[in-house]
Structure 1
Amino acid sequence: MASSPLGRPTRGTTGTNRLRRNDRWIAASDAFRRAGDPLVVDLGYGASGVTAFELAARLQRVRADAEVRGLEIDPGRVTLATEQLDDVRAGRTSFPRDLAVSFGRGGFEVPLPSGRRAAVIRAMNVLRQYDESDVPDAWRTMAARLSPGGLLVEGTCDEIGRIASWVDVTQDGTPVRFTISLRLAELERPSIVAERLPKALIHRNVPGERVHALLVDLDREWDRAAPLSTFGATQRFLAAVSALKDQGWPVLGGKTRWRLGELTLPWDAVAPLLAR
């Protein structure tokens, strides 16, 4: 265990299935699928170890050798998650008894046993309590614990996992991609993600900033595609994203990801412009 973990204890609760969209993203990532050691860290997992259990179960469907390490600064949360893991091992939960999960105390320094490095570090709903100016150093500190080709996934979601966004950061601390992920059923406007943007962007949703322009354009195309609602929200979202791409937005991926309510762009397309 780290004697002096870097960072502040995470706040709030942990909801079952809250991070399912992010789990799916990690499971599809090259950083995880191609890793020599598919160790994934769930940093700041919260008041319950359930997100680590869910992440491990989903990852092991892709790679049977996947392993998840949950880290929290609060020693009480580590104790509780370890007790929950005992229930998993005893067969008192719906998770497999041999689920490859462990828990420990740690923060941005990401302490791992035996000098191992992580293929992926997931830090969701962790930096929201920090200042925007703290973000680059936090990214660099966490990303330094990645294996070559590894990925830091940092972002925010709502309490029930219907609205999420995150940034992909490489081993040298460089942000490379930005993704929003929305539950399309009953979605009123895509810009609802504004309240769940990563800390690096949440205060940048103002005129003159790229992320603001993106959300304005996405809402406009969502409105224009309203007639397609007859065929379902997925078809409406596909049309909106295709229109964004036609306008010159450098949309990544294709319809397979868009159907999931995901929209991914290079970080440079939304990176902050205005001095603060």
Structure 2
Amino acid sequence: MSGPVGQPTRGTTGTNRLRRNDRWIAVSEALRKAADPLVVDLGYGASGVTAFELAQRLRQRRADAEVIGLELDPERVATARSQLQDVHAGRTPFASDLPVSFERGGFEVPLPGGGRRAVIRAMNVLRQYDEADVADAWRLVASRLAPGGMLFEGTCDEVGRIASWVDVASDGLPVRFTISLRLADLEHPGIVAERLPKALIHRNVPGERVHELLTALDREWDRAAPLSTFGPVQRWLAAVTTLRAQGIPVQGTKSRWRLGELTVPWATVAPAS
């Protein structure tokens, strides 16, 4: 390939915007079992802060984790490298030895010296693409993963309170879908419809599986309203537990649900056609 593959993003980013996805990656099997825990923050935006935060959180789980930020725009790469100099000089809240670097690249996910990646994170990257482009993008990016590696692709709001993503395996096929919401002051979980991944955002209509899931989640959230007296976490736990009892294959345990997460196999939300 002669150059970076992909379309420029808006570049919008901000401190702690991707914290929900960070903590998901930090406990992922792809990172935990990786022989070489190399993680790519693909399309990190106009600032390198998401790569710094990701590296900081991953080090709490894997001290040998390393993060490489990739962007199409050489000016964004230059900006992030300048920020990294401040990190190394101890002029930021981040550890001065933070294992982060920045390179120019896109969906081809280049790495100096070649090699494979344990994890590739691509949040808010596919929003401007057509739904028909998603599968090809998944396959291309995922082909750069090491065996057992994982691509995490999705969307979140500007302050990181509403997020969702898809786990895509190294064969380019989606494995599971996760919703992650800040429960405090949450009116309805269905607000995540505004921040669904590109593969699903146009599918939140009657007759589609993701619409059925969000409708059921809103329904059980409403039914659990009396538990608000004990806080939004208890209300969320009740709603998720009921969905599971109704046969929806909710994954994970209460320790993850307490974070405002709901994870289901991809087949539960896969587009009908």
TM-score past 0.5 threshold: yes
Q: Which runs of at least 4 in structure 1 moved beyond 3 Å after TM superposition?
A: none
Normalising to structure 1: TM-score of the pair?
0.98
What corresponds to 2:163 in structure 1? 164
Matches within 5 A, 1:91-130: 91-130=90-129
State the match for 1:222 in structure 2.
221
Moved more, 147-156 or 8-17: 8-17
Which residue in the other structure is 1:19 paired with?
A: 18
Match of 2:82 in 1: 83
Distance 1:95 1:251 in 2: 36
Structure 2 Cα separation of the partners of residues 227 and 184 of structure 1:
15
SS in 2 for 1:69: strand
The residue that corresponds to 2:189 in the other structure is: 190
Aligned length: 273
Query: What TM-score does the superposition give when structure 2 sets the normalisation length?
Result: 0.99
Distance between the aligned counterparts of 1:257 and 1:202, measured in 2? 24
1:113 shift after superposition: 1.4
2:257 aligned partner, one-letter code: W
Shift of 1:12: 3.8
Residue 69 of structure 1 corresponds to which residue in structure 2? 68
- Aligned equivalents of 2:56 and 2:116: distance in 1? 20
What is the CA–CA distance in structure 1 between the aligned matches of 2:260 and 2:212, rounded to whole Å? Answer: 19
2:271 paired residue number = 272
What root-mean-square deviation, in Å, do the aligned CA atoms of Structure 1 and Structure 2 show?
Answer: 0.8
Q: Deviations over 1:49-94 (max 9, x none)?
A: 0000000000001111000000000010000000000000111101
**Equivalent residues of 2:11, 2:44 under 8 A apart:** no
> 2:189, 2:250 → 1: CA distance?
15
Which blocks of at least 5 consecutive residues in structure 1 are unaligned? Answer: none
Write the distance in 1 (CA, Å) between the matches of 2:112 and 2:237. Answer: 44
Aligned to 2:146: 147
Distance 1:42 1:226 in 2: 38
Equivalents in 2 of 1:96, 1:116: separation in Å?
26
Instruction: State the shift of 1:3 in Å.
Output: 5.0
Q: Which digits, 9 at most, give the CA deviation of each residue in 1:182-201, with x for residues without a partner? A: 00000000000000000000
